[in-house]
Amino acid sequence: MAQKNTLLTISEQTGYSVSTISRVLSGKAKTYRISRETETLIKEAAQRLNYQPNLIAQTLRTQKSNTVGLLIPEVDNPFFASLAGIIIGILHSRGYHVLLADSRESARDEVQELRMFMSRSVDGIICIPVSSTPDFHEHVSSQIPMVLIDRHFKKTSLSYVCTDNYAGSRMATEYLLDKGYKRILAIQGVPDSMPNKERVRGFVDAIGVHGVDYKIAGNAFSVENGNREILAAFSGGREYDAVFAFSATILLGAIDALRRLNLRPGKDVGIISYDNNGFLDFMDPAVTRVEQPLREAGKVAVDTLMEIIAARRAGHPDPASRQILIPPTLVVRGSC
């Protein structure tokens, strides 16, 4: 049933005017001093009739969509899925709907998805960027509030909230070195991504102090990458006594390959991973890893976005840019 007929039907069933019904269903009952009894009666009638507001018309009228666009690089990656779930939960608690999109680690797809957000008139955007430059993101941000999370650009005016990937990688590498490992294989993710570059930098800087043998290999945050690089590195006999996987997905592939080679993680080869996930404690042995503060990062990103949205709605300048690196922690278990 069309919205006009639905409002009229509610009016016919309750005896209240269309304007009163509209005020109740738009959450303005208190503003117009509509009684609780009237509010309850109208809401019950709307529920019986399966009333659905016309969101497009509502957005045009109020200049609010109560929707935030969330852009992530790989929806099937457990890390990004966990981060998205946290952000969605926080936004829902603030009364916002979420429009989720996947850039598939493609700069071209990222531009298309950001344009889609603009065409849908979202109130704001939270983005894990994959492009090499911030130019288009800054263009979008001039029209729609945007906050970056997990990844950022070196030179940008955009607000961002990320883990200190350099510190986390250096901390993990120094832990391996302190445990006495001498030949370390680091399996990296997407080489050009900001988190990967920082993890490589932290790894190399820690290694440089101790002068042990190492190798950096790989090209994706994927199970397949971890599997492939272990098989390649150990095909001529075991050459490494420790493996540093730059993500939990890489870790899974690495452990599978080690076991196929009859090498025991935690005994024959030390294993450490970037990213925390509950399932890592149920592996044999449980995996030592760098934990990123996802819930804290998600909350800070949402808070920052809400501040920008509120400022623009009030006609005020944007708040000062917030560019935050949150320190990770090391979770020590039995794999190294």
| Domains within the chain, CATH numbers bracketed | 3-53 (1.10.260), 63-163+295-328 (3.40.50.2300), 165-291 (3.40.50.2300)
Predicted confidence at residue 64, as pLDDT, reads 67
The shares of helix, strand and coil residues in the chain, as percent rounded to the nearest 5, are: 45, 15, 35
272, 289 contact by CB (below 8 A):
yes
Q: What is the DSSP letter of 273?
A: E
Amino acid occupying residue 251 = L
101, 71 contact by CB (below 8 A):
yes
Predicted confidence at residue 43, as pLDDT, reads 87
User: Residue 189 corresponds to which tokens in the numbers above?
Assistant: 């993710």
Strand blocks (E) in 110-217 = 124-127, 146-149, 159-163, 183-187, 213-217
267, 258 contact by CB (below 8 A):
no
Predicted confidence at residue 53, as pLDDT, reads 65
User: Which phi and psi angles does 216 have, rounded to 5°?
Assistant: -115, 125
pLDDT values of the chain reduced to their tens digit, one per residue, 336 residues: 344 447 788 888 888 888 898 888 877 888 888 998 998 898 888 888 877 665 545 554 555 679 999 999 999 999 999 999 999 999 999 999 999 999 999 999 999 999 999 999 999 999 999 999 999 999 999 999 999 999 999 899 999 999 999 999 999 999 999 999 999 999 999 999 999 999 999 999 999 978 799 999 999 999 999 999 999 999 877 689 999 999 999 999 999 999 999 999 999 999 999 998 888 999 999 999 999 999 999 999 999 999 999 999 999 999 999 999 999 999 999 999
CA distance 246 to 223: 11
304, 159 contact by CB (below 8 A):
yes
